[in-house]
Structure 1
Amino acid sequence: MKTIDAAEVELLDYYLSKGFVSTKNHFVMLRDLTEPIPKFPQPNNITINQWEMSDEQGQQDYLKASAHAFEGNAWSLNHLQWMRDGPGWGTFTAFNEDYIVGSVMIWEINEQRSATENIFVHSDYRKKACITETLNFLKESGKTEATLGVFADKKKAILLYQSLGYRMLKVIVELGLD
């Protein structure tokens, strides 16, 4: 598998000439954090915490909740632990008592920008509060931009992110050998 910015047409031509085919498209979206961030009420039984997942049981619980939300597709424990070691890493995780119902992961891209990624919410708890809480934290931390990646076929997610002020930044084409 190879991912290429859609603007790199010569490189795309090269890979296509070698037998690669497009398997997926990823939209990279940008949120200007200098713009107002909408407020959404949290349900009474939900708390959103900045959570470090400091023990392996917490990490396993996170992966289980993520797999449930992503229909069985989740990172491995090794990948999650590797991500935790990155600069500016953290999560804003929504809990119903001890049960994880959603999360937004962040990591630093540069001084102005952080990623808001691996966003999931259990279908029974779909609200916008976890994402806006994360955006407010990044804004208060001095960031001016937040980005995320979303598969191009995830129409509901794209509409949600647009409603929160994210706009298209670029398209990444995923290529693989047929």
Structure 2
Amino acid sequence: MLTEAGRQLLSAAHALQSARASAVQNMQPHTDLPAGTAARLAIRTSMRNQWPCVVTGIEVQGHLVRVHLRAEASEAFRVRSRITLESAELLGLRTGIRVQALCKATAVRAVRDSKDTAVDADGFNAWNGSVTRISRGSLGDEITAALGATLQIVGFSAPGEGLRVRSRVVLKVDESAIVLALD
């Protein structure tokens, strides 16, 4: 059942979508940009996991860069992304800048929390959570898990993992699966 807060969120999303489409349509006749360029400003993504973050560190490793992030909503939620040096330069990444960390749900592995699945001491890209929703499937179950009161992650568990709502899980994602975008 959709709550009043959920209805308000959907209404705001529809208003933003309408405003974005209107702005793109109004901009197109007044620009010399190639056809379709303005429309790409209104891009939407299939990535279900999207977290506002702050860059807390950058490690250059040859042509690769490891970007350390912290979610704005939670000091405990730390993410690491591995991108190319050129991408980091094009985004103008530096410590303190705000970014969106995005990740496909299919890149997130959810496993039952146990001694064998403990989160590493550094806490990057592995999080303890509690299952809030499960959608069963023959190739695996789609899991939505809450990480504290303010964050959630959508991922997949292996077929037959036997997770249920309120099960404790560990969610893991490879740092190369974390995409960065500027707000």
TM normalised by structure 1 equals 0.29
The one of the two structures with greater contact order (alpha-carbon pairs below 8 A, sep at least 6) is 1
- Structure with more of its chain in helix, by fraction: 1
Larger radius of gyration: 2
TM normalised by structure 2 equals 0.28
